[in-house]
Chains A and B, each alone.
Chain A
Amino acid sequence: MAIEPAVVSPATLAEAYAIAARGAHRPVAGGTDLLVQITGGIGPPPDRVLDLWRLDELRGISVRDGALELGALTTFSEIRASVACREDAPALVEAAATIGAAQIQNRGTLGGNVMNASPAGDTLPVLLALDAELVVGGETGERTIPAAAFWPAYRRTAIRPDELLVRIRLPLVADRRQRFRKVGTRRAQAISKVVIALAWRGDPGSGTWREVRVALGSVAATPIRAAAAEAALEGERPTESTAERAVAALVGELRPIDDVRSTAAYRREVAGRVLRRLVRDEGRW
């Protein structure tokens, strides 16, 4: 039997904020990361846990104010089943489908994935690619942090200890296309070796790509945007030569490591190959 820290399960968000304001509580959403850490003795266990599971205020998927909004407690199963997500965030739906298996998808949450801040977090590159806005709240009110600024360092987030993640906003962008690919350790219940999410606005006339986002997981200490690869694709059509420039740029800007799951050489090479494939699919060459 594992260590059993004290836990408090507030019924309202206001109560939860008050508890968070007192500090020293580790929030838990679906538990699929925290319980692994406690049982496995991975890092020091929390003294106190703030259970968010009863906070229905943090649930629900809706389109509001020009954005697809997902409550922090939205589970991966809910994302997979959501028509709104399939329409406006297909890459997120694909990512959700690659996380664990049904047992994990029924409990694991988007907010938990964001807050666990793993460089291998499968949805995080999607959030980066879709310019997600992470709305955090506390007793002093809400504020919005862009995904690009949310994971400043290895397993760190930009949230303050007295704040909770409330919802994730994905601004709706006309003519935006998105692609996702996870290269994992096996075909189900895999942890990623490389995750790549790609988003762009296609110009219907010229076929050029605008507002290109290339985001990756498991290739650095945090989920990252690949600025050089984005620049190589920006304003270009998805041709073979553009793809080659983007791949060269990407391979040059990644700093992956060797670990128990894969090698730096593999991650770098495969990230480039997957990007080339995604561009090739769009360019149909």
Chain B
Amino acid sequence: MTIAARPGRAVGAPLRREGPAKLTGTALYTDDLVFPGGWYGTTIRSTEPRARLVAIDLDPAFDWSRVAVVTADDIPGDNVVASIAADQPILVPVGGEIRHQAEPVALLAAADRETLREARLRVRLRTEALPPVFDPLASTVEFARYDLAKGDVDAGLASADLVVQGTYRVGHQEQLYIENNAMIAVPRAGGGVIVHGSLQCPYYVHKALKRGLRIGSEQAQVVQAETGGGFGGKEEYPSMIGLHAALLALRTQRPVRMIYDRHEDLAATTKRHPAIVTHRTGVMRDGRVVAQDIDLVLDGGAYTTLTPVVLSRATIHAGGPYDIPNVRIRGRAVMTNTPPNGAFRGFGAPQSEFAAETQLNRVAEAIGMSPLDVRRRNVYRLGGITPTQQVLRGGVAGEEVLERAAEASEFDRVRVRTAESRGRRSPRDRTARGIGLALAWHGAGFTGSGEAKMGSVVSVELSGDGVVRILTASTEMGQGTKTIFPQLVAAELGLPIEAVEMAPQDTALVPDSGPTVASRTAMVVGGMTIQAARRLREAVEGRTGRPFATSYRDDAADHGATRIDQAFEPYPGVGFDDATYTGDAYPAFGWAAAVAEVEVDLDTFEVAVRSIVAVDDVGRVIHPVLCEGQVEGGTLQAVGYATIEEIKLLDGRYLNDRLQTYLIPTALDAPRIETILVESPFAGVPHGAKGVGELPMDVGAPAVVAAIHDATGAWIHDLPATPERIMAALVGIDPPGPPGISTVSPRRAADGDTER
């Protein structure tokens, strides 16, 4: 069938490679995999925020012969989920400390779910309660700290015409992939295990299995099943689940399925970090911001996980995309007795950029300047210097995305109209309209020296039977890896895309291309894939003297297989000094602007986000449809973050642990999203791409909050901007508690042993 693509859109772009399988229900996600003789596994979890584990009691009246039980004593290797630090246990050992609600303590498996359900009820944890810490500002345990400085912030503030101060708080956000976490472990014939699962990073799980099970690289095999969304939520927790499934599989010598239901997934797996950000901004009457003094605290939850890296990104992005002469940013991440927080699209930047953008809007209001003009005045331009002393040498598109967004949304014109209607408002009016603008930058790829240390490899091979195949650990989770990589290689080799295969994401087959995170897949791994294809082309053309496309089959027949292993080569002129935390924090930055229009119900303070114009500079668009899809999806996640997505906690436990209570936007909540893609390429990679996944997540929330202000006159400092918070700001009624911080039940408070 021919495709009637609209002009300027998908003309010539290939269809999603695994699309037909997904559309016909034949794509196999983890829970769709059948392993005959497999058992079902489950996790016994803590029900306290902090306690000493005294004993795990198994009811002697129950027939335990039908059930496999695994505790920390059964772990052959280190009782550690391998990550940045070695603090998080696979299972809390007896005598050890439970640090959060829903922490894994023991594992059970049985042949059927009925037995497993009964067995769960016959396990009792004996504990001695310890005093928990819930308020990050009261925590004395620091996971990481970064201090950035540029110029002299005290002098800058002293010289300013005006100093504006503000504190912003954001709570947890759940990734809410529609497919819950799921892993199945199968004992391997030659020892060790094969773990099939829903995951972003096969080699993270691989590393965790090796350490926790004390097995070799060959014995730990990780295979990605079709993955129903990740958004960061399947970056690290699959290591935990993979270990759990593997421990049970090794115990039972059978396949064991660990398929989380939504309740368990919400209750136990990682969320976006809550944050408290305080700004002091010095500004001149003409709109020049002369000083930013920023203090940022991230709540890491109970274990280190990826928190130091999240903090690093949050800190570097905390000032927003503005070239300010005097900057001081102090970021720290602390421990609380809540489930560990982790990766989620944006990775710290959405939190700190929400604060930065809302603060800048308040600064603009204070000096009577439009939000657009204050950004025009301060946005980074070519040659700008960041707080890590990075000189922006190319691909600087902040101004362009800003102007394009303002133009496409008719920002100035609409804003005049909303201001007029605000001036004429009467109690008769049911709703109020508002428009809001936000601008952001997002460092492309890993922060600092992360990529150089990772040592990623991608391979492109021409097999002996004449098939071109890409071997990479980069996973497909909906964002399009399996379509764009063949596209890049096909273009380099002059082949039709159908002629390029993708090897399965199986650690037994593909090299470690690093994790599928940080918007690095298209830029970094995509770039390496092109390099590998280029070397393959040169090798073949060198031998055949003819163009690759017309000679590769002959070359394979004559010469046999050729495989090019392409390791990451540091980008020329990009360097970062970890010791001083200065230099090129990112090889390039993506730039994003969003303009949101909202309608606020003046009786109920409900917010309808009507439209969003999203302008994103992605370097180079590889596939317009997939790229737009990333912007649209990220934009809606940001709208959810801004308006309805909130987790309330009681005694460190998430209360919104079902889909009836943790809400994400439906099709009726979603705004009309207009996507404009801007191309300001990164010169360090052959195709110029800078990544797209995270960019839209940074701008949506501050744009919506600015629009709510434009509609109502109320500044909302805490996310989400729920009707309850908007009402509190406008009517002067008790606001709800701060987002992200657990309340304490009366019983616990009465015990007097809660907060120290």
Contact = CB atoms under 8 A, between A and B. Distances in A.
Q: In their complex, do chains A and B touch, with some C-beta pair under 8 Å?
A: yes
Interface of A: 1, 3, 36, 40, 101, 183, 185-191, 193-194, 260-263, 265-266, 269-270, 273-274, 276-277, 280, 285
Contacts of B603: 270, 273-274, 276-277
A118 B392 CA distance: 59
Nearest to A268: B733
Contacts of B724: 262-263, 265-266
Contacts of B728: 265
Given A101-B666, A187-B608, A270 B655 contact: no
| Interface residues on chain B, size class | 20 to 34
B604 A40 contact: no
B604 A188 contact: no
A189 B661 CA distance: 11
A260 B733 contact: no
Given A1-B113, A269-B733, A273-B604, A188 B656 contact: no
B668 A270 contact: no
B733 A187 contact: no
B658 A40 contact: yes
A271 to B, nearest CB: 10
B731 A269 contact: yes
Interface string B717-732: 0000001100110010
Given A186-B644, A186-B663, A270-B727, A263 B736 contact: yes
Given A186-B666, A187-B668, A266-B724, 10 more contacts: A40-B263, A183-B604, A188-B667, A188-B669, A191-B660, A260-B648, A261-B661, A262-B723, A263-B736, A277-B430
Contacts of B117: 3
Given A186-B644, A266-B723, A270-B603, A260 B666 contact: no
25 contacts: A1-B113, A183-B604, A183-B723, A186-B663, A187-B608, A187-B666, A188-B667, A188-B669, A189-B666, A194-B604, A260-B648, A261-B661, A263-B734, A265-B724, A265-B727, A266-B723, A269-B727, A269-B733, A270-B727, A274-B603, A274-B604, A276-B603, A277-B430, A277-B603, A280-B428
Of the listed residues A101, A183, A266, A273, the one surrounded by the most CB atoms of chain B closer than 10 A to its CB is A266
Nearest to B743: A258
B606 interface: yes
Nearest to A189: B666
Contacts of B14: none
Contacts of A277: 430, 603
Contacts of A36: 660
A68 to B, nearest CB: 29
Contacts, number: 68
Interface of B: 113, 117, 263, 427-428, 430, 603-606, 608, 644, 648, 655-656, 658, 660-661, 663, 665-669, 723-724, 727-728, 731, 733-734, 736
Of the listed residues B113, B667, B727, the one surrounded by the most CB atoms of chain A closer than 10 A to its CB is B727
Nearest to A266: B724
Contact of A266 (B427, B658, B727): B727
Of the listed residues B603, B660, B663, B728, the one surrounded by the most CB atoms of chain A closer than 10 A to its CB is B603
A285 B426 CA distance: 11
B133 to A, nearest CB: 23
A260 B661 contact: yes
Nearest to B724: A266
Contacts of A189: 666
Contacts of B263: 40
Q: Lowest 3 CB-CB distances: which A-B pairs, in order?
A: A188-B668, A188-B666, A187-B668
A191 B660 CA distance: 8
A7 to B, nearest CB: 17
Contacts of A191: 660
A285 B329 CA distance: 53
Contacts of A186: 644, 663, 665-666, 668-669
B111 to A, nearest CB: 13
A36 B262 CA distance: 12
B733 A265 contact: yes
A183 B655 contact: no
Contacts of B731: 269
A150 B667 CA distance: 36
A3 B116 CA distance: 12
Contacts of A269: 727, 731, 733
A263 B723 CA distance: 10
Contacts of A190: 663
B180 to A, nearest CB: 13
Of the listed residues B428, B604, B644, B656, the one surrounded by the most CB atoms of chain A closer than 10 A to its CB is B604
A263 B605 CA distance: 13
A190 B644 CA distance: 11
Nearest to A272: B603
A193 B724 CA distance: 11
Nearest to B647: A260
A273 B430 CA distance: 11
A190 B659 CA distance: 11
A260 B737 CA distance: 12
A185 B666 contact: no
Contacts of A266: 723-724, 727, 733, 736
B718 to A, nearest CB: 14
A274 B733 CA distance: 17
A186 B668 CA distance: 9
Contacts of A273: 603-604
A260 B655 contact: yes
A197 B328 CA distance: 55
